[in-house]
Structure 1
């Protein structure tokens, strides 16, 4: 297999010459695979765009890597970026295999959303083990994780939070931060939201929440948390917590979110189940 080369379009200069906005043919021997445009955005950043037609792997990712290498080595930039339509599966795969990582999503009206991808000059080379691991880590989905506390008083009532941003009450807790364990997250949330130092007894159950309204799906970790004196004063986080309530089953059904009502019903029906799915209690093999 011949080495891929870049050839400037409409110019006889070598591909190593720097242009502020340059177009190149990508060649595999005598075959023209497609074209690249390399734009020097500023002294540190270049943007690449390409049309490689029906070129298949691995030549497609090799061609993308060639254009990125040109921009990094010949133009002296430290960052190369591109925008790709979310439905451009072949181009997105080629960009990932050429070491580009997803930076974010660019939303558009009346057109497919686009992914912003980039590669930095000090990123591991895509041909190395480190580069392959980095590519996988960047490409794999990131599922939202939530940690909540199940706290009961001596009478068996459940602690629910009256929230400032929605009508229904919910269990205390919140979203797990990056690189934070769910158990640490529920302790942190109780400290931030209620001003208490919680003691986690253990994991009660895991509940998968399907996409709902504008929210993506999530995995909910529900922890048994040791109760505190119901009469003890709490320091509520005013931006999120309007009040807290110790709720019997009737009040739970009257005021809690539908997902919380279903979860507590499910825990009563089968307290030993370790995995559940909102909308149904999961009975299969995990």
Structure 2
């Protein structure tokens, strides 16, 4: 496969910043690049109907030129989410997703970038980094199932919604779900919890404005009833030990379904909250 070449386009204001990408005698398309004072290069291209692997090679050539010849330390681009070919080429050229630019009346755009010290896309490290950046990141939630000697379940009265819920919260990046539930109980209630084990995993389908998530429900040892609690005032308005009737009266629909499911099949390691969520999506 022949090397691709660049030809500067000396067209007035574009002189020195716009280039034609050629494969031998064939013109594949053009790209333009502007380097800011912070050495960030903003890149855009028009490769028409060019197909893979030429498309990725052309984008990689433009990025390499900005890094090696123009002295950029970061190359970024904005691509409409519906431009599948360009987004795929950018990923294969080593660009990673930085975020999403939302727009009114137009497709959202992805902000993608490649740094000068990122592994080259042709290496194993670069390929793994590309896959890791492109794979979906599913939200994980960890909650505690705490029961007292009478079998009542601990629910938190929340400041930001009417229904009560099991204590817990979202797992931070790089944090294990078990560590997350211990951290959340310490932050929300001021207790040092002891996790007995994983009770079940519950998949939550997309619902309302929320994406789907995986919920890890841990069996947590109850603490001494005399232990003083320090509630997190921005999130927790109170805690309640609830029997089944009070759970059905005050808990979230997902929590009611989860506890009912545990009563029916307490040993099931995996379940899905489809009945509640699919009916209200």
TM range, normalised to the smaller chain? Answer: over 0.9
Task: Tell me which residue corresponds to 2:208.
Answer: 213
The 5 A counterparts of 1:125-136 are: 125-136=120-131
Q: Could you tell me which residue of structure 1 aligns to residue 230 of structure 2?
A: 235
CA distance in 2 between counterparts of 1:222 and 1:20 reads: 61
The answer as to 2:263 corresponding to 1:277 is: no
Unaligned runs of 5+ in 2: 277-281
C-alpha change, 1:266 and 1:20, in structure 2 (3 Å) is: farther
For residue 4 of structure 1, what is the aligned residue in structure 2?
4
Distance in 1, matches of 2:15 and 2:133, equals: 29
Deviation at 1:42, TM superposition (A): 2.5
Per-residue deviation, 1:44: 1.1
Q: Aligned partners of 1:71 and 1:124: how far apart in 2?
A: 16
Question: Are 1:52 and 2:47 matched, yes or no?
Answer: yes
**Partner of residue 105, structure 2:** 110
Find the partner of 1:37 among 23, 32, 37. Answer: 32
Aligned residues of 1:170 and 1:256 also touching (Cα < 8 A): yes
- Give the CA deviation at 1:92: 0.6
Q: Distance in 1 between matches of 2:19 and 2:107?
A: 26
Are positions 1:92 and 2:84 aligned together?
Answer: no
Structure 1 distance, partners of 2:84, 2:50, is 13
Give 1:41 shift.
2.6
TM-score normalised per structure 1: 0.93
CA shift for structure 1 position 20:
8.5
Cα distance between partner residues in 2 of 1:168 and 1:195 = 22
Give the Å deviation of 1:136.
0.5
Greater CA drift, 42-51 or 97-106: 42-51
1:82 aligns with 2:77: yes
Aligned to 2:196: 201
Q: Following the alignment from structure 2 to structure 1, what is the Cα–Cα distance between the partners of residues 275 and 108?
A: 33
Aligned-partner Cα distance in 2 for 1:194–1:255? 20
Query: Are 1:190 and 2:147 an aligned pair?
Result: no
| Runs of 4+ more than 6 Å apart | none
Which of 232, 239, 244 is residue 249 of structure 1 equivalent to?
A: 244
Q: Aligned-residue CA RMSD in angstroms?
A: 1.4
Task: Report the count of equivalent residues.
Answer: 274
1:21 to partner: Cα distance = 6.3
Displacement after TM superposition at 1:10 (Å) = 2.9
Q: By how many angstroms is 1:77 displaced?
A: 1.1
Q: Taking structure 1 as reference, are residues 79 and 198 closer, same or farther at Cα in structure 2, changes over 3 Å only? A: same
Answer whether contact 1:21 1:40 (CA < 8 A) is retained.
no
CA apart distance, 1:2: 1.4
Please tell me whether the aligned partners of residues 177 and 185 of structure 1 are also in contact (alpha carbons under 8 angstroms): yes
Shift of 1:280: 4.5
Q: Report the Cα distance in structure 2 between the residues aligned to 1:49 and 1:129, rounded to whole angstroms.
A: 27
> What is the match of residue 279 of structure 2?
none
Structure 1 residue runs of 5 or longer lacking an equivalent are 12-18, 282-286
Q: Name which of 65, 83, 88 aligns with 1:70.
A: 65
8 Å CA contact 2:8–2:16 kept in 1: the answer is: no
SS in 2 for 1:243: strand
